[in-house]
A = this chain, B = another copy of it.
């Protein structure tokens, strides 16, 4: 995804949009928010057909944006746990409202809202 701008020339919203609207990002946040902290492998299983590459990329981006926190326990084998920060939790709240709306519309209008 290249850019989702909401104003010019520098839009404070761009960053969050970029972060959130990339493929899988919202889903990752939603899982971490709904199920709590998860390790890399659990997360991957939970998101099913996601590739390791993409999952790693998204997690790094979200960490950079301080939406989640990465905690490493350097055992063998290593354990890496991801959890939402306060920012991430706030975003999760918004995403969840989207989910609530979508579910409501699905049950109200089983056939007219989408092709």
Contact = CB atoms under 8 A, between A and B. Distances in A.
Interface residues of A, number: 39
A3 B49 CA distance: 11
Given A94-B94, A101-B91, A115-B64, A30 B6 contact: yes
A94 B98 contact: yes
A13 B99 contact: yes
Interface in A93-108: 94, 97-99, 101-103, 105-106
Interface in A74-115: 87, 90-91, 94, 97-99, 101-103, 105-106, 112-115
Nearest to A16: B102
Given A12-B105, A16-B105, A87-B113, 18 more contacts: A4-B26, A5-B27, A6-B26, A8-B48, A12-B103, A13-B99, A13-B102, A17-B26, A17-B102, A20-B98, A21-B21, A21-B26, A64-B114, A66-B112, A66-B113, A87-B105, A94-B97, A94-B101
Among all A-B residue pairs, the 9 with the closest Cβ atoms: A12-B106, A15-B114, A13-B102, A16-B102, A21-B21, A94-B97, A12-B102, A6-B27, A13-B99
